[in-house]
Amino acid sequence: MNKSKQRSAPIGPDLAFYEGPDSIEVDDEFSIELMWKNEGGAGRGLQLQAWGAAVAAGLVELSQATLMAGPFPDAKRVSVKLEQDAETAYVADWAEAQILPAALVPTSGPISATDLEAIGAAMITIRLHGRVHGEEPVVLLLGLVDDASEEFDILEITLVPSPSARGTP
Protein backbone atom coordinates (compact mmCIF):
# COMPACT_ATOMS: atom_id res chain seq x y z
CA MET A 1 0.00 0.00 0.00
CA ASN A 2 1.16 3.55 -0.56
CA LYS A 3 2.56 5.30 2.47
CA SER A 4 0.77 8.43 3.67
CA LYS A 5 2.00 10.56 6.55
CA GLN A 6 -1.08 12.84 6.54
CA ARG A 7 -2.90 11.03 9.32
CA SER A 8 -1.88 12.21 12.78
CA ALA A 9 -3.16 9.10 14.57
CA PRO A 10 -4.35 5.67 13.54
CA ILE A 11 -7.98 4.78 13.08
CA GLY A 12 -9.46 4.07 16.48
CA PRO A 13 -9.37 0.43 17.47
CA ASP A 14 -12.86 0.64 18.93
CA LEU A 15 -15.57 -0.88 16.85
CA ALA A 16 -18.43 1.60 17.08
CA PHE A 17 -21.09 -0.69 15.61
CA TYR A 18 -21.55 -4.28 14.49
CA GLU A 19 -24.62 -5.63 12.75
CA GLY A 20 -25.10 -9.15 11.53
CA PRO A 21 -27.46 -12.08 11.75
CA ASP A 22 -27.85 -13.90 15.08
CA SER A 23 -27.33 -17.13 13.19
CA ILE A 24 -26.31 -18.11 9.68
CA GLU A 25 -27.60 -20.88 7.45
CA VAL A 26 -24.81 -23.23 6.44
CA ASP A 27 -23.62 -22.49 2.87
CA ASP A 28 -26.01 -19.51 2.51
CA GLU A 29 -24.50 -16.08 1.94
CA PHE A 30 -24.28 -13.86 5.01
CA SER A 31 -23.62 -10.16 5.33
CA ILE A 32 -22.23 -8.36 8.35
CA GLU A 33 -21.67 -4.65 8.75
CA LEU A 34 -18.88 -3.15 10.84
CA MET A 35 -18.40 0.52 11.66
CA TRP A 36 -15.25 2.13 13.00
CA LYS A 37 -14.70 5.69 14.15
CA ASN A 38 -11.67 7.49 12.77
CA GLU A 39 -9.81 8.94 15.76
CA GLY A 40 -7.03 10.46 13.70
CA GLY A 41 -6.51 12.91 10.88
CA ALA A 42 -7.40 12.72 7.22
CA GLY A 43 -5.62 10.18 5.09
CA ARG A 44 -5.78 7.80 2.16
CA GLY A 45 -5.78 4.02 2.00
CA LEU A 46 -7.26 1.20 4.07
CA GLN A 47 -6.88 -2.56 4.12
CA LEU A 48 -9.12 -5.15 5.79
CA GLN A 49 -7.49 -8.44 6.76
CA ALA A 50 -9.52 -11.50 7.82
CA TRP A 51 -7.99 -14.73 9.07
CA GLY A 52 -8.20 -17.50 11.66
CA ALA A 53 -8.37 -21.27 11.99
CA ALA A 54 -11.82 -21.34 10.35
CA VAL A 55 -10.46 -19.53 7.28
CA ALA A 56 -7.43 -21.83 7.11
CA ALA A 57 -9.70 -24.89 7.34
CA GLY A 58 -12.03 -23.60 4.62
CA LEU A 59 -14.99 -23.25 7.02
CA VAL A 60 -15.39 -19.54 6.25
CA GLU A 61 -15.34 -18.21 2.70
CA LEU A 62 -15.36 -14.44 2.17
CA SER A 63 -16.31 -13.09 -1.22
CA GLN A 64 -16.74 -9.31 -1.16
CA ALA A 65 -16.20 -6.27 1.03
CA THR A 66 -17.73 -2.85 0.52
CA LEU A 67 -16.14 0.22 2.06
CA MET A 68 -18.39 3.19 2.78
CA ALA A 69 -16.53 6.33 3.83
CA GLY A 70 -17.61 9.95 4.01
CA PRO A 71 -20.79 11.73 5.01
CA PHE A 72 -24.03 9.77 4.80
CA PRO A 73 -26.20 9.36 2.80
CA ASP A 74 -23.68 10.38 0.14
CA ALA A 75 -20.87 8.14 1.40
CA LYS A 76 -18.68 6.82 -1.38
CA ARG A 77 -19.09 3.04 -1.74
CA VAL A 78 -16.27 0.94 -3.14
CA SER A 79 -16.66 -2.85 -3.40
CA VAL A 80 -13.75 -5.21 -3.83
CA LYS A 81 -13.48 -8.95 -4.21
CA LEU A 82 -11.60 -10.44 -1.28
CA GLU A 83 -8.43 -12.22 -2.30
CA GLN A 84 -7.03 -15.10 -0.26
CA ASP A 85 -3.28 -14.82 0.21
CA ALA A 86 -0.71 -17.58 0.75
CA GLU A 87 -1.07 -17.30 4.53
CA THR A 88 -4.75 -18.27 4.31
CA ALA A 89 -5.94 -14.77 5.13
CA TYR A 90 -8.40 -12.72 3.10
CA VAL A 91 -7.38 -9.21 2.14
CA ALA A 92 -9.49 -6.31 0.85
CA ASP A 93 -7.42 -3.33 -0.24
CA TRP A 94 -8.74 0.18 -0.80
CA ALA A 95 -5.45 1.93 -1.56
CA GLU A 96 -7.15 5.11 -2.80
CA ALA A 97 -9.86 5.40 -0.13
CA GLN A 98 -10.18 8.97 1.13
CA ILE A 99 -10.60 9.01 4.91
CA LEU A 100 -11.96 12.15 6.55
CA PRO A 101 -10.51 13.43 9.83
CA ALA A 102 -11.97 12.68 13.23
CA ALA A 103 -14.76 14.99 14.32
CA LEU A 104 -14.42 17.15 17.39
CA VAL A 105 -17.63 16.89 19.40
CA PRO A 106 -18.63 19.34 22.11
CA THR A 107 -18.32 17.82 25.58
CA SER A 108 -21.24 19.81 26.92
CA GLY A 109 -24.37 21.34 25.53
CA PRO A 110 -26.46 20.21 22.59
CA ILE A 111 -24.92 18.58 19.55
CA SER A 112 -25.81 20.48 16.39
CA ALA A 113 -26.75 19.05 13.02
CA THR A 114 -23.33 20.16 11.76
CA ASP A 115 -21.65 18.21 14.59
CA LEU A 116 -23.65 15.10 13.72
CA GLU A 117 -22.71 15.47 10.06
CA ALA A 118 -19.00 15.71 10.94
CA ILE A 119 -19.25 12.65 13.20
CA GLY A 120 -20.93 10.66 10.41
CA ALA A 121 -18.32 11.79 7.89
CA ALA A 122 -15.52 10.38 10.06
CA MET A 123 -17.13 6.93 10.33
CA ILE A 124 -15.78 4.03 8.29
CA THR A 125 -18.24 1.27 7.46
CA ILE A 126 -17.41 -2.08 5.90
CA ARG A 127 -20.01 -4.59 4.72
CA LEU A 128 -18.55 -8.08 4.48
CA HIS A 129 -20.14 -10.94 2.48
CA GLY A 130 -19.32 -14.63 2.76
CA ARG A 131 -20.44 -18.17 3.62
CA VAL A 132 -19.94 -20.56 6.52
CA HIS A 133 -19.37 -24.18 5.47
CA GLY A 134 -19.52 -25.94 8.82
CA GLU A 135 -22.16 -26.75 11.39
CA GLU A 136 -20.25 -25.48 14.43
CA PRO A 137 -19.68 -21.85 15.45
CA VAL A 138 -16.52 -20.41 13.88
CA VAL A 139 -14.32 -17.48 14.82
CA LEU A 140 -13.30 -14.88 12.26
CA LEU A 141 -10.47 -12.49 13.11
CA LEU A 142 -10.50 -9.05 11.46
CA GLY A 143 -8.02 -6.19 11.36
CA LEU A 144 -8.50 -2.77 9.75
CA VAL A 145 -5.14 -1.28 8.74
CA ASP A 146 -4.61 2.31 7.65
CA ASP A 147 -1.69 3.33 5.46
CA ALA A 148 -0.27 5.82 7.95
CA SER A 149 0.28 3.54 10.90
CA GLU A 150 0.11 -0.02 9.57
CA GLU A 151 -1.09 -0.95 13.07
CA PHE A 152 -4.37 -2.50 14.04
CA ASP A 153 -6.17 -4.25 16.84
CA ILE A 154 -7.76 -7.63 16.27
CA LEU A 155 -11.53 -7.85 16.23
CA GLU A 156 -12.93 -11.33 16.90
CA ILE A 157 -16.37 -12.23 15.53
CA THR A 158 -18.07 -15.56 16.15
CA LEU A 159 -20.31 -16.75 13.31
CA VAL A 160 -22.97 -19.19 14.52
CA PRO A 161 -24.74 -21.57 12.09
CA SER A 162 -28.47 -21.65 12.82
CA PRO A 163 -29.94 -24.53 14.87
CA SER A 164 -32.05 -25.60 11.88
CA ALA A 165 -28.88 -25.83 9.78
CA ARG A 166 -27.34 -28.11 12.41
CA GLY A 167 -30.39 -30.38 12.40
CA THR A 168 -31.65 -29.26 15.85
CA PRO A 169 -35.22 -28.09 16.27
All domains of the chain in start order, with CATH: 16-159 (2.60.40.1510)
Question: Do 144 and 1 contact (CB within 8 A), yes or no?
Answer: no
Cis previous bond, 73, omega within 30: yes
pLDDT, the chain, mean: 75
End-to-end CA distance of the chain: 48
Residue 156 has pLDDT above 80, yes or no: yes
Q: Per-residue pLDDT tens for 29-77?
A: 889 888 877 766 777 788 888 999 999 998 999 999 998 877 667 778 8
pLDDT at 97: 79
What is the pTM for the complete model shown? Answer: 0.74
